[in-house]
Every structure is written in C-alpha cells, then in structure tokens.
Structure 1
C-alpha cells in the first residue's frame, strides 16, 4: 500500500512538472522572428505602469494602446504611455474599441478629439468585437454604414488608412472585411487565422504572453512579412 501511494505521488509530481513546463512555454511563446520580423504588443484598457525600455529590450518593435471606447470613454493611461513609447525606441499606435450601441460619427468625433494627429504614429486600429456591456446586434447594412463613416472620419483626421481588428464571432456574423476594404488585424492564439475575406496584415498570436516590464499577460502581435 505504501509503495502504491509513493508511486502515485511520483506520477502526480511528474504531471505537475509537465503542466508547469507547458504553461511556462505557452506564456513565453511567440511566432518565430525569422518568419515574422516585426513583432509587438497591444494592451487592454488601464494597463498600469509599464517599463517601456524593458519591453523594447524583450523584442517588441511596436505597441498599440487603447485610447477610446465607444463615444464616451477615454483611457486614463493612454496619454502618459503614448508620450513614453517613442523614447524607448518603439513605434506606437492607437486603438478605438467600437461600440455597436453608439453611432459611428459620435465615436469618431470622440476619438479625433482625444488622439492627436502624429506623424510617427502607426495606423489607427478599430476593434470590432461583441462586448458584454452592449447587447445590440444591428442589421449588417446598418453596421457597415456606421462603421464606414467612423473609418472615413478617422482617416481624414489621421491621414492614414485604418486597421480593422475583427474578432472571429463578429466577422462570422457580419462579414465586415468583405464590405470595408481595409487591412485586417485578425485574432487567434497559436495558429494563423483565416476567417476574414482577405489575408490578415496583423495577427494577434497570443493573449497570454508574459514579458518583463509589464505586470500580467499581454497580447502579442506580428505583422505579415
């Protein structure tokens, strides 16, 4: 009996070690730089304190930050981080989290009033996903019209084309990438996605990566070669 428990304990310990090793691999994994030379991260709202120099030293070439959400939310951490990123040698881009519950024009006005036109900025990304705080599901034609107006207004302000960051559920429901001809930022852990109407230009390859300089997991992205 004692031998049985000793053997069982050894098996459990081995399984635990394998689990820890697997989790360590998953949280440090990123697509090979030889295949995707340009890699970086995007952060959610209120990311907290960030050591941007350390982030750059760990291989990030760029960083995208949430600036606005809907027509009435500004991220309080956006401005200080936006100002700090270039000093660390990274390129910077702003994200707008699109709301299906508010008009595209109002959201564009909110974004344009908050985010300055900056010559060195990467193209703005508009995140279109389903969110718990908005249960609206507009008709496809209405969404395409509203989102198209947002895109045109932001592009007029920034003078650069907008990136469409489309979640798979939203793209499946609305086929946005087939209606709005803009570069796609697709989202899928580990395996390159193929759910949009055109090949992606940016891929969020992991939402659990951990790197020095940031507390908690980050979203890790690569640019198509």
Structure 2
C-alpha cells in the first residue's frame, strides 16, 4: 500500500495546490459542448464544457451500447455499475467493462452501497464479482440516500455512515491496491461527509449548479453535471461527467491511478 500512496502523491500535490474555491478552475480553453443535452442547465461562466475531459457512467439500463461509437464521440472514461448491496450484480457489468476495454476507454466499476447490509458483506460481494483486471481506474463507492428503494430506507446516524463506508473502502483498497473514489449527491454529502475523507478523490453530482455552490469546501475530481445527455452509441439519456483538469493532467492522473 505504501507504493500506492507514493504513486498518488504527485497528483494529490498538484490538485491540493488549488484553494477550495479554485480547485476546479484549472486553465482550459473554452470549448463547445461535446454532447447534446435534452435538458441543459445554465451553469454560468463555470459551465462544464470548460473542461475538456468528459466521461459517462452506465448500468444495465443503458441497454445495448455500441462502444466503438461511444469512443469515437469523444468519451474519455466510463464508470460502470458492478454491484449493489450484498447480493446484486449488474447483468451488463462484465460485458460493458470488456467492451470498454476493447475500444480503449479507461473504465472503473462502481458499487451502490446499501445501509441494510454490513460493510464486510458488501465488500465480500464486490470482491467476489469484480476481478482486478476489470478496472484501469480506481473503483468507486456510490453513497447516496435511496428514497426509491423498496427494501432499504434506513438512514443511519452520520458517525455510523462514515464508519461503515470507511470499513468498506479499506477492504477494497487492501484487495485492489487502489484507493476508491467516492461518488455522492448533494443531500448525502451535506448530511454525512462535509469535512471528512479529504484524502479521497470525490465524484460529485450537481445537475443544477456548479459544485462550488453545492459542495462547501469540497475538492472534487469528477463532476456529474447532467443525466439527460445524448451520446452516440447509447440509446436513451445518459449521465455525463467531467474531469477537473486539462488533458495533460488527466493523463497524469490516470497514470498515477494505475500504479499500485
């Protein structure tokens, strides 16, 4: 694990050199939108298209994906749903990661956390179903309140939430040799994560405003800014995300993330 921390250090140092208010203001040239959005939002001058590196996140609900077209459209990375809770495997996970890998799209699996199962049960399930070769980016822990669940509406106290997800992430990091990325939503972050996990990369959802307005003092690496994008090769609406930095810093980040 020491080698992993050393590998991440250069990237962490570069990103931490920015203040919390300027973390995502790495110099980038203004560029036109990469993808059509069926419900575009006005983000003001700090719109996501300032960032040149765009990616998708997908699950079985995206159906039959033509990965060659996705690659050709300018998608730079893909987060792919793998597991949920202690007993659910996304039925398209193994197909998707292999197809993304075949066309050269950097990809990472994500786990949707259920607070009705223990951290160890969920870590065991993830490890059982997600091979090490299925990721060339760090794995992702998706933590958010799931108000639509028919089986788990539990909302533990913040201390319990943090201890559970830390246990899960420690297990995953020990097994895969990569420190997980944390994906979260505005309300879950506000309720549980403000001021914590500063040594983890964050992927934040903010579809109506820039993250600096919705995530107080949180440095982020990825920003999910819409769920209504149109990406060639994917039927229906698609989530789109941007990486915080330039093409050059993306290559550096990806290289560091792959060292273990």
Q: TM-score, length-normalised on structure 2?
A: 0.72
Which residue of structure 2 lines up, in the alignment, with residue 170 of structure 1? Answer: 188
Deviates more, 1:116-125 or 1:85-94: 116-125
Contact 2:37 2:230 in 1 (8 A): no
Question: How large is the Cα RMSD of the aligned pairs?
Answer: 2.1
Matching of residues 178-193 of structure 1 within 5 Å: 178-179=196-197, 181-189=199-207, 191-193=209-211
Is 1:60 aligned with 2:93?
Answer: no
Cα shift readout 1:163-193 (whole Å, capped 9, x = no counterpart): 1101111111112662463111111125321
Is 1:139 aligned with 2:157?
Answer: yes
Rg larger for = 1
Which residue of structure 2 lines up, in the alignment, with residue 5 of structure 1? Answer: none
Shift of 1:138: 0.7
State the number of aligned residues: 200
Is 1:27 aligned with 2:42?
Answer: no
Consecutive unaligned residues of structure 1, counting only runs of 5 or more, are 1-23
Change over 3 Å in CA distance of 1:172–1:66 after alignment to 2: same
How far apart are the structure 2 equivalents of 1:26 and 1:119?
29
Cα shift readout 1:35-83 (whole Å, capped 9, x = no counterpart): 3222110013442110001001111011111000011100110001111
- Could you say what secondary structure the match of 2:86 adopts? coil
How far apart are the structure 1 equivalents of 2:134 and 2:236?
31
**Which residue among 88, 91, 106 is the counterpart of 1:73?**
88
With a CA cutoff of 8 Å and minimum separation of 6, indicate the structure with the bigger relative contact order: 2
Q: TM-score, length-normalised on structure 1?
A: 0.82
- Could you say what secondary structure the match of 2:71 adopts? helix
**Which residue among 118, 130, 145 is the counterpart of 1:130?**
145
**Which residue among 212, 226, 236 is the counterpart of 1:206?**
226
Which residue of structure 1 lines up, in the alignment, with residue 17 of structure 2? Answer: none
Contact 1:148 1:180 in 2 (8 A): no
How far apart are the structure 1 equivalents of 2:116 and 2:192?
15
Change over 3 Å in CA distance of 1:140–1:59 after alignment to 2: same
Change over 3 Å in CA distance of 1:173–1:45 after alignment to 2: farther
Is 1:216 aligned with 2:245?
Answer: no
